[in-house]
Structures are given as structure tokens and as C-alpha cells.
Structure 1
Amino acid sequence: MTDSVNPLPEHAIRAILDRYGEAMLLGAHARDYVATTKADCTEGRRTTDLDLAIAAPSIPDFKEMTRPLGDSGGTGMRFDVEKVKVDLIPFSNAPGVNPVIEVVEGIQMDTTGIDEAFQTAEHMEAPFEQLRIPTLHAMIVLKTVAWRMRRAATNKDAEDLALLFKCTDLGDYADRCYEDDGLLERFDADSSRIGAYLTGADAMRDLPQATRDCLDEWSNPELAEAMEPRYSSNGFIESLAQRLSDFAAGASDYAAGARE
């Protein structure tokens, strides 16, 4: 489907789409797709797993839906599909549903924002048009949620965020960083800051609930520090905290009506 660090396992994806109708790509494959096709950035982290989100009204419904796939591993969400390890993440857009799910007792996952990301996701090209790809701003929100939930156990979400923030003024996202005279003046024509700001505004527009839920994390110095290892050998690390702050400013300005 696209050249990237991690080629998509098409047979496994086809099997899931044929069974469930629609799904949204998550994890390393989604990160790589956005970075490669939208930002011309070929960096990435190797993975052999596939993460897909599927709609399910409830956890009991999800268990019934996935029963034909066989053993679900220790998490209740990992299946062998066409010789590929596939993590299926259930989400619901029903009002009042707790986004922190527990398919297996004692193992929790925060699905905050997945329903909003699904609604605004792009469709893959034929013949995989049933597969949705989160936008860059949705990926940043979802990765922030993941970092908040499991930062004590892994740093990979923060490192993925560093790559995603690097993408905000590259490729398809570059031109718009020079179109607003007010922003050019406000940010001293620094495209990295403008890109982060505009992407934050995009996040508040498309994922308002999840973005509001994450605002405190983008001002958390622990996140910027956790993002540093990916770029510890170059000057990019100095701008991480600033980009996080600008992203949050863009989200807040959009919420206040200062951006359209």
C-alpha cells in the first residue's frame, strides 16, 4: 500500500476488513504511514505487529465479535490473523461509556479519542478503502493518551510523539506554515513552531473532547524529557518543549474562537 519502515501486512488487514467491515489503523503502522506519505519522513521503529481499532458497543460484544478468531492472548485483544499478531482495540462512541477499558481483568487500556479520530480519519486507497488512517493531529492526541497511560512501562509513545511533532512542518504540512502573516510575525517565521500551533488547532477542531482531556500533558515537562532520547544527537531536542507548548496554544486558541 505504501513504502515505509513497516510494510503493511495486507492479508491480515483484508481478513479483518472482510469480517468487521471497517477498521482504523493504529500504532507503528499508522505513525509510519502518516510520516511517510504526508511528511516525506522515512524514520520509524520496526514492528511486526498490527494494531487496528474496531467499533464495538461494549466489551461483551467485542468478546463475542472476536470469538471466531480464537485465542486472544493475555490481554484479550491479541489474535493470530494470517500469521500476523494483530491487536484489535475496541472503541465505542456511545455517550457515557468509560474510555478506559478492561477486556481482561487487571489489564487496562485508555481508548480516549479513538472514536473522534475514527470519524475524521482518512480512507486508504482501493482496494483497502474500508481501512481508515488517523490524521497527524489525531495521532498526536492518541499517542499522548497512550503515553499518559503507560509511561511507567515504556517510552516508545514519547519517542513516537517526537517523530510526529517533527512532521508538523514537513511535506504536505509545510506550505501552510508560511500562509498566515500574523503567525509568521508571532512565531518569528519559525515553521516548526507554526506547524505545531496549527496542528494543535486541528486537534481541537476534530477531537475536541480528547484534546481538552490532554491539555495538561502538553505542559508536563516529563513528556518533553521523555521525547528527547529519539533525537539526543541533534539540536531538535531543544525545541520539543516549545513545540508541545505551541501545540497546546493552538488547541486553546481554537477552543476560544481565536482560530478558524
Structure 2
Amino acid sequence: MSYKIDSAKIEHPLLKPLLADLIPFFEEKQIKFFVIGATARDIILEINGQKSGRRTQDIDIAICIDKWEQFEEIAKDLVELDNFSKDKQQQQRFLYLQDFQLDIVPFGSIMDEQDKIYWPPDQTFAMNVLGFEEAEKQTQSIILDEEIQFEIVNLISIFLLKIVAWKDRHHKGNKDADDIAFIMQNYLNINDERAATEHYDEVYGIDNYTELKASASLIGIDLRNLVSDNPKLREYLLAVLNKDIERQEASILINQIIETHKTIQFDDVLESIKIIVEQLSK
């Protein structure tokens, strides 16, 4: 199923021209890319008549490759196009019109057994791409202005990738926890029809009902389905979430969530995370 969207409704002024350049470039390379991160989130929200409240100044895409030589060729050829240049500091980053950031995150056979990639030549810079293969399986097709068709990750995949990102960098700030909380607050509203028709008892029949807990139940159901073919990823997620549950009042994740979302109560978040774990454990 494809979703149609008007670029004027996305607070992303260069999204359309950037995609117009990227799509034929990657088609020629015979490499599929899909949009991840905040841009994908904003598009999903717009499709469902909601806003994130943030303006996104960059775009992240993921590509599946077999060897690093493919990425090196992409990097070399991309900067030969008009409007593209290479960021001098970060290996995954390119610049569009000198200012707009484009991050290209590779995954695939270049990953090690821990689902990490190590950037050549010295391999000192590592990135965790755990969950990218699962996210690729559930992309959504978007048609922009009836002209441009591309793929984005769905909302449960964004939640998955945010949990992984939070685990890796929560000590650097609370941005990922903020995004996790935002998804938890909005997930049920976005998926209310499916929740009511397919999972009514599990979502709306939970004890001591709150909307956050109901949303968490649906997140847990969808997360379980997303990682069903990857037991290692499932156990990883359970370990991350259970560790913060065990910390109780000292939970880093929960405290970062209530720091960024003042209206959410600690106990409601704690019980909601427990519900996600319960659903994921089934």
C-alpha cells in the first residue's frame, strides 16, 4: 500500500529536491534505500494528521550493501553530482547545498556478529545497526506530490531503532528518550482502528487503563511481530528494558522520558514499559 503526501505539509524544505536527486542515483547503482529517523517519523505523523512539533534539518537513509567497496563507490560518485559534498568530520555524512545534512547508514554483510559496522580504513569508528534488517522488511511506500515514490521505515521500526540508539548513547543526552516517549504517547491514536479490530482485549482491556499503557500494549504486540525471526534481537530488547525496570526510581530511561514530557507520570511510564516487556516475552 502506498501513501500519498503533499510536500508542502512537511516542514522539510529540501526533501523533494534531495529525493529527486537520490532516487535515480541509487537506481543506477541498483541499491535500495529507505528513509529512517526523524524524517520518516514526521511523514508518518503527517499521514495520520499529526505533527511532531520539531523541524527536521537533515535526512537519514539506510542502504543494504555486501562490501565496503560499494559504499566507497557511492561516496565518490555522489559528490560528483551537483549540490552534494562530503562532510569532513563524519564518515556517513554528506551535505546537500552545503548545509543540509544527509546521513547514509550502511548495513548488510558488512556487519559483524554483534550487528556493528566498523568504518574503513582504520575501523576505529563503529556504529550499531542492530534492527536495520528487520526495519527493511516493513517499509512503507510514500508518493510525494504525485511525482516521487520512495520508502520509509514504519513507526514500530522507528521505536525499535530508537531503543537501540538510546542504549548506545543515552549518556550523551535525552533526545532518544524524548522520541521514545513521543511514539508511546501517539502510537495508539495512529493505530486505533487496528487496535480496536485486531487486539481489542489486549489493548483496551488492560488493568488500570491509561492511554499510555494501552499504547504500550500495542507497541509490544507489534514489536514482538517485528522481531519474531530474530531471537537475538528480541533478547537484546528485553535485556535493555528489563534493566531499566529493575532500577525503579533510578531508571535512566524513565527519568529521561519524564524530563522531556512533563505531563507523563513516572508510574505510568514504568507500568507501560512492563507491558511492552510482557507482550514482547510472549
The TM tier, using the shorter chain, reads: 0.7 to 0.9
Q: What is the CA-CA distance between 1:227 and the residue it aligns to?
A: 1.6
Match of residue 73, structure 1, among 79, 84, 88? 88
Gaps of 5+ in 2: 80-85, 245-250
Paired with 1:161 and 1:225, the residues of 2 have a C-alpha distance of 12
Match of residue 213, structure 1, among 236, 244, 255? 236
Counterparts in 2 of 1:15-94, with a 5 A limit? Answer: 15-21=21-27, 22-38=32-48, 40-70=49-79, 71-83=86-98, 84-92=100-108
Find the counterpart in structure 1 of residue 186 from structure 2. Answer: 167
Match of residue 118, structure 2, among 79, 102, 108? 102
Alignment pair present for 1:240 and 2:240: no
Find the counterpart in structure 2 of residue 231 from structure 1. Answer: 261
Find the counterpart in structure 1 of residue 247 from structure 2. Answer: none
TM-score by length of 1: 0.84
Change (3 A) 1:56 1:248: same
Paired with 1:154 and 1:200, the residues of 2 have a C-alpha distance of 25
Indicate conservation of the 8 Å contact 1:162/1:227, yes or no. yes
Indicate conservation of the 8 Å contact 2:203/2:217, yes or no. no
Q: What is the CA-CA distance between 1:43 and the residue it aligns to?
A: 2.6
Q: What is the CA-CA distance between 1:216 and the residue it aligns to?
A: 1.8
Deviations 1:166-185 (A, max 9, x none): 112113x1234445235533
Find the counterpart in structure 2 of residue 150 from structure 1. Answer: 169
Q: What is the CA-CA distance between 1:241 and the residue it aligns to?
A: 2.2
Paired with 2:209 and 2:95, the residues of 1 have a C-alpha distance of 49
Change (3 A) 1:98 1:195: same
Change (3 A) 1:236 1:75: same
Change (3 A) 1:148 1:214: same
Change (3 A) 1:175 1:93: farther
Identical columns (%): 20
TM-score by length of 2: 0.78
Indicate conservation of the 8 Å contact 2:213/2:275, yes or no. yes
Indicate conservation of the 8 Å contact 1:75/1:107, yes or no. no
Change (3 A) 1:20 1:73: same
Paired with 1:242 and 1:52, the residues of 2 have a C-alpha distance of 33
Q: What is the CA-CA distance between 1:73 and the residue it aligns to?
A: 2.8
Change (3 A) 1:60 1:224: farther
Paired with 2:103 and 2:203, the residues of 1 have a C-alpha distance of 41
Q: What is the CA-CA distance between 1:121 and the residue it aligns to?
A: 1.0
Paired with 2:19 and 2:241, the residues of 1 have a C-alpha distance of 33
- Computed over aligned residues only, the root mean square deviation of the Cα atoms, in angstroms, reads 2.5
Indicate conservation of the 8 Å contact 1:24/1:133, yes or no. yes
The letter for the 2-side match of 1:249 is E
Indicate conservation of the 8 Å contact 2:67/2:109, yes or no. no
Report SS of the residue matched to 2:130. Answer: coil
How many residue pairs align between the two structures? 249
Between 1:19-28 and 1:90-99, the stretch displaced more is: 90-99
Change (3 A) 1:225 1:116: same
